[in-house]
A and B are shown apart, each in its own frame.
Chain A
Amino acid sequence: MEAFAEIKPGKRYLTRIYLGIMLWFVGRAVQAAAKVDKEVAKEFENMPDEYTFCLGAFPNGPYMIVGKDAIGRVRYKGGNPDKHDIHLEMGLKSLGNLFTMFTFRESTPVANARDRLFVCGDVPNACACVRVLDIVQVYLLPKPIAKLAIKRYPRWSFKRHTLDRALVLIRTLIGF
């Protein structure tokens, strides 16, 4: 039989680097928002201790893992799901789907509606995680871009839009 060279899919290094940075940033922002924002804190309060969720691209990542520790603090737990007991997995079906979402060409709700997103885990906590991610995106992104990412841009107080946003951004950058 004639030998054929095996065709391997491209590695898409730049895409993976971009998504890795975005997920790292969002993961740390969730940790920061849980300390600054009462609504985010309340969502996590309703989850059991050590509850952990991940968001990423199926099958090979990148991922971000966020969860509560044994005393209930919200922590960004890195990007390797194999090291953690994951209770809720939210995955885009391909790297390309995740890239489309994180370049704001498709919002999270639209990606979900188009069956690009799969959720493995309990539904009430998945709803809570989506609400947390929506809030974090409003903190991180300018309004015109955030409106592309979520269903409805919220009407927040001036303090929440300014002081709380500054605190979330600072805490995200320094990891505190």
Chain B
Amino acid sequence: MYIPDYFEFCCRVKIVAGHDGLEQIPSLLTAMGSSAPMILTDKGVRAAGLVDVVETALGGNLTIPTIEDDVPPDSDLNVVHRLADVYREKGCDAIIAVGGGSVLDTAKGINILVSEDSDNLMEFTGAGALKRPLRPLIAVPTTAGTGSEVTLVAVIADHANNRKMLFTSYFLLPDAAVVDPRMTLTLPPHITAATAMDAMAHSVESTVMMSKNPLSDAHAREAMTLISKHLVSVIKNPSDKDGRLALATAATMAGIAFSNAMVGMVHAIGHSVGSVCHVPHGTCMAILLPYGLEYNLHKAEDRIADLLLPLAGPEAVVSTPADKRAQAAIDWIREFNKELNQITSGRHATRFKDLKGHDGTPMVPKDKLPEIAATAMGDGAIFYNPEDMDYEDFLMVTEAAWEGVPLDPTRIKKG
């Protein structure tokens, strides 16, 4: 086990997980001194009836001043400002964010504005701009993937300038995360696959990054075990409540892991693909994850080899020579992606080339790859990657992920 000379670990989110987690929200709010929460969600979540499930679970014991569902799939700066005004007008004193990463990030953005009594979110971009606790925020994730319910990060898109802004602060951690499998029961198979691979990427990257530590590793390895054990069976049997709870718990654990050990090049490139081409984040993670491991193989072979046990189980470890385990772990992820592709009838893509928009046009045209590589150069996740990356490296990895071919090891620079 790798123990750094010094490390820090923090997770101050109260986690309420289980088949009746939602019913605990009123008592959580009471303990926080709140009585008028805004429910924030998106139209898809609301149409799926999940807000109704939450309202039923609240049992009429709570006054909800407003339910806002106008949150786009990609959290948006203007939407954050508008909804902060609604929060103030309706006299809200807390937020219950019911949704995926975009809703939770939007909720964090709103919470910054209303807590700081500001009308300009740009004042708080970057790391360390927040200096005091924010108002109560309860996160109810509806996908088992992002881990936003336990992360200190919010990513909010500034569409006018075609960029994503990062906000980092311990004050962005929600006060409580309610992990209830009823919220993910209706997820379609390909979204279940993509979001779970997002959680997989969080856990895998956090165990390979320079800032890994024993506490983050413990969370990450258990998350990997849960995902590798339950994802396929949940896709085949979507009403498997215990499997759903396992995946939701894994996503939360992976979120705790990467909040403390951070992520690297897979996320740096994935954020850029999302920003430039609007590809869902989980899809980017699934495609890029094996490439991130291949690229870092010469710097982190032992760490990658250690992934084989939580991913493939003890029999795979015993039957694989020690010097082949790192490559075996990478191969296992590629094969897992292929299996997900098959059981989702091809909707879980394994390379960027195959992604198509609603109108059938390619989501990631090849001529966009240089722009993706250039955008990735400004992503902070690369700080934690074991190996350095320049523009050429980003482009090489993105091109390989577009074609769906393994990296050429002779093109990986070693210094």
Interface residue ranges, A against B (CB under 8 Å): 109-110, 112-116, 118-128, 130, 134, 147, 150-155
Contact of A151 among B125, B129, B388 (CB under 8 A): B388
**Is B235's beta carbon under 8 Å from chain A?**
no
- The residue on B at minimum CB distance from A154 is B415
Query: Which secondary structure characterizes the binding site on chain B?
Result: loop
Q: Is the CB of A130 within 8 A of B126?
A: no
CB contacts (< 8 Å) of B125 on chain A: these are: 122
Q: Is the CB of A127 within 8 A of B380?
A: yes
Smallest Cβ distance from B175 to chain A, in angstroms?
23
Smallest Cβ distance from B159 to chain A, in angstroms?
17
**Residue among B4, B126, B387, B414 with the highest chain A CB neighbour number at 10 A:** B126
Smallest Cβ distance from A92 to chain B, in angstroms?
12
Q: Is the CB of A112 within 8 A of B8?
A: no
Q: Is the CB of A120 within 8 A of B415?
A: no
A-B contact pairs, 30 of them (CB 8 A): A109-B210, A109-B383, A109-B384, A112-B211, A112-B384, A113-B4, A113-B209, A113-B211, A115-B7, A115-B8, A115-B211, A118-B127, A118-B128, A120-B126, A121-B126, A123-B127, A123-B166, A123-B378, A123-B379, A123-B380, A124-B378, A124-B379, A126-B126, A127-B378, A134-B388, A150-B388, A151-B387, A152-B387, A152-B415, A155-B413
- The residue on A at minimum CB distance from B378 is A124
Contact of B128 among A110, A113, A119 (CB under 8 A): A119
- The residue on B at minimum CB distance from A126 is B380
The docked-state distance in angstroms from the alpha carbon of A132 to that of B414 is: 20
CB contacts (< 8 Å) of A118 on chain B: these are: 127-128
CB contacts (< 8 Å) of B210 on chain A: these are: 109-110, 112-113
Q: Is the CB of A130 within 8 A of B388?
A: no
Given A109-B210, A123-B378, A126-B380, A116-B127 contact (CB < 8 Å): no
Within 8 A of A (CB), among B161-181: 166
Given A123-B379, A127-B377, A127-B380, A115-B6 contact (CB < 8 Å): yes
CB contacts (< 8 Å) of A121 on chain B: these are: 126-127
CB contacts (< 8 Å) of B126 on chain A: these are: 119-123, 126
Within 8 A of A (CB), among B100-132: 125-129
Smallest Cβ distance from B253 to chain A, in angstroms?
21
Given contact pairs A113-B210, A115-B8, A125-B378, a sample of 19 additional A-B residue pairs in the complex whose CB atoms are under 8 Å apart: A109-B210, A112-B383, A113-B211, A114-B6, A114-B211, A118-B128, A120-B128, A121-B126, A123-B127, A124-B377, A124-B378, A126-B380, A127-B382, A127-B383, A130-B383, A151-B387, A151-B388, A151-B415, A152-B414
CB contacts (< 8 Å) of B209 on chain A: these are: 113
Q: Is the CB of B6 within 8 A of A119?
A: no
The docked-state distance in angstroms from the alpha carbon of A51 to that of B378 is: 16
**Residue among A116, A126, A127, A154 with the highest chain B CB neighbour number at 10 A:** A127
